[in-house]
Structure 1
Amino acid sequence: MYVAVKGGERAIENAHTWLAEERRGDPGIAELTIAQIRSQLRLAVNRVMAEGSLFDPDLAALAIKQARGDLIEAIFLIRAYRTTLPRFGASTPIDTARMTCDRRISATFKDLPGGQILGPTFDYTHRLIDFALAAEGGELSDAAVQPQGAEEDIPHVSGFLEREDLLQTEPDGETVPPDLTRAPLAFPAGRPLRLQSLARGDEGFILSMAYSTQRGYGRNHPFVGELRVGLVAVEMDIPELGFAIEIAEIEVTECETVNQFTGSKTEPAQFTRGYGLVFGHSERKAISMALVDRALRAEELGEASGDAPAQDEEFVLSHADNIQATGFLEHIKLPHYVDFQSELELIRKLRRDAMGARQEAAE
C-alpha cells in the first residue's frame, strides 16, 4: 500500500498547477474579469448566491471564475467561505410588498393594481442563436441596460384573495425559525426549515420534483398567483437606537402559487398556496420551490399524501442539497484500495469454494 501512494504529494501539486493553467486558458486571449462575470453572467451568479446561502455578487463571480464555470463547485467555495464569517446579528424579515420590481407578472389576474411588468425575460424570445452577439463592438451603452423598476409599493395578488377569504391564511411568524446553516436538518421538519432547504437546494433537483407534481405525482396543479423580481431593503434592529435601519439592498425572486382548493363540512372551500423566495433573478427556481413547498404540505392540509416522491419530506430534503450529493458521489473516485482488495479477495474465495464444490459433486 505504501508503494501505491508514493509520490502522491508531488502529483497533487502538479495537478494544481495544471488546473491553474486550464483555468486561465489561452494566454493570448484577455482574461475574464470578475466585473464581466458579475455583469454579463448574472443568472449564474444568482444561482451561486442562492444555493451558497450568501448574497455577495462579487464573491460569487470570483467563485465561478475559480471553478472554471462549474456552478456546483462555485457553490461549494461560497459555502466554505461563509462558514468563516462572523455573525453579529439578524435582520428583520424583508417586506417584498415594498419591492422595487423589475419584473412582476400574474397568471391569475390580467388587470391588477400596480400592473404587469414584463421586465427582462426569455419568455417571449424565439430561442434562436443570435449570431450578432458574436460580432465585436455591438454592445449596448450602459445607459441602455439600466433596470427601470417600479418605485411605488405593489401589493401582493394573494392579498386580494385573502380579503374575500378565498385563500388560506398563513399564521404569523411569532417564533424565530431554526437556522439550517447553523444546525443540521432534522425530521420532521417544519415549513420554515423546509423552505430554507428548498431555497438552497439544487435547482435541477427541485425542478424535477416540481415537474413530477405537475405530471400527477402529487396532484399539484397550480396557478402562478404572482411572480416578482426586484430589489428589497434589508433592515436590522439596533438596540442602541431603538429602531431598525437599512443595512443593504438585495435582489430577490418571489413566487406565490394558488393551488387547488380544500375544504370540509366545517370549513369553507379555499385555495391553498405554495411559496418560493430565492436570491437574485431566478424564476425557474422560485416557481419550482413553490410547487414543491405545496406538495410537502399535503399532510398538514389533511390530504392523502400517497407515494409521490415530492410529498416525501425526508426524500426531498435529504437529496436536494447538491453539495452533500456531490461530496458523496465524488468521494468514490478517491483511493479505495483497501476496500476493493478485501472485496476482491472475497470474490476469489467464493469462486474457489464454488469450484471445489463442483469438483466434489463431479467425483
Structure 2
Amino acid sequence: MPSTPALSTVAEHARRADADRTLATAVVAELTSAGLARHFVPRRWGGAEGEFSALLDEVADLAEACTSAAWVGMLWAAHGRFAALLPEEGQREIWGTTPDVRISAALMPPAGRAEPADGGWRVTGTWECVSGIGSAQWVLVAAPEAQGVRVFAVPAEAVEVLDTWDATGLRGTGSHTAVVRDAFVPHHLSVPLAELLRGGDTPGLARCHSVPAQLAGGLMFCAPALGAARRALALWSAWAAGKAPGSGRPHHDSAAVRETLALASAHIDAAGLLLRRAARRADTEPVGAALVAGNQRDAAVAARLLADAVDRLFRTGGAHLRDGSGDLNRLWRDVHTVASHGVLRLEPVAAAYASATLAADAPARSSAASRSR
C-alpha cells in the first residue's frame, strides 16, 4: 500500500492532473517508488510477483487521492505482468538494471504492421489511447504479421507521442497516441498476442503470470473507480452533514438525502465485495471458463454499481458540490469513464457468462430432467 506521503503528493496534484491532462513528475516519482511497476515483475529481476488482491487494495487507495494516477499505476503493474511472458533475454533487457520500469501498452485492437527482418521485425504503426505514454520507458504494441498478431516491446525513445488525449474523465492519464516508424524489434522482445492473453504455461511459473488476462483484467480496470466512488461518498457525506443555507437544518433532514446515502454507500460496498471476491479467485482458485466468466461478470456489475452510486451522489448534492471545477465533478467524470471501458461493458460480459455457465450446467440439467420423468 502506498505510504501516507505518497498519497498526499498524489492528492495535491489531482486537480492539476485533470487540467494538464498528464501526471506531474512528482506523482510519477511517487508511484514508481511505491512499487506499482514492479508489482508483477518476476522475483529474479527484483520484482514482487504480487497478488491481484493486494493490487486491488493499493489501486483503490490511490484512486481516493487521484483516479488518473491510480489508473496509470494499475496499468504499469498489468503491463509488467504481460512483459513477464517475453523470452528471458527480453526480460533481462527491460529489467536487468531495475524492476521499477514503467511500461505502457496498446494491445487492443492491434494496429500497424510488422515485417520480418534479420533477427526480428520492423514495426510501423499508430496506436491510440496509450495511457501514461509520456512517462513510459517501454511500450508494448500489438501488430499483425504473417503468422498472426504479435506484441512488440519498443523502447520509449523509438516512440513518437502525439498530443491527442482530451477525454471527459481520466484526463490526467495522458492517454495520447503512440507512433512507431520502422523500428527494429529483435525476436527476444516479442511474443504472440494469443500467448500473452492465455498466460504462460512454463512449469514453476508464478500464479500471476500463468492465469489468462481475462481472469483479472476487469477487476484491475475497475479498481480505480472503486476508490474514486469512495472518495466521492466521503465528499458528499461531509456536505450532507452540514447545514442547509437559510433553514440552518442539516441536509440529511431530507428523506431524499438519507435514501441517497443508504443506496450509494450500499452500492459502493457491494462493488468492493464483488471485486475483492474476484481478486481472491484470480489469486487462488482453479482456472476454468466459468471462473473467468464469473470474474468478468463481477467486474462489469461492480462498474455499473459504482457509476450508479456516483450518479445518485451527484444529483443529490448541492449546487456548490456540483461545481464544474470541483472534486465531485471530476470523480463523477472519472468513474463514468472507467465504467465505459470495453472490458467492463455488461452486454458482452453477460453473453460470455451465460455461455460458460449455462453450457456447463446443461448435462446436469438434462440428467436431472431424465430422472424426474
TM-score for both structures, normalised by structure 2: 0.25
**Highest Rg: 1 or 2?**
1
Q: TM-score, normalised by structure 1?
A: 0.25
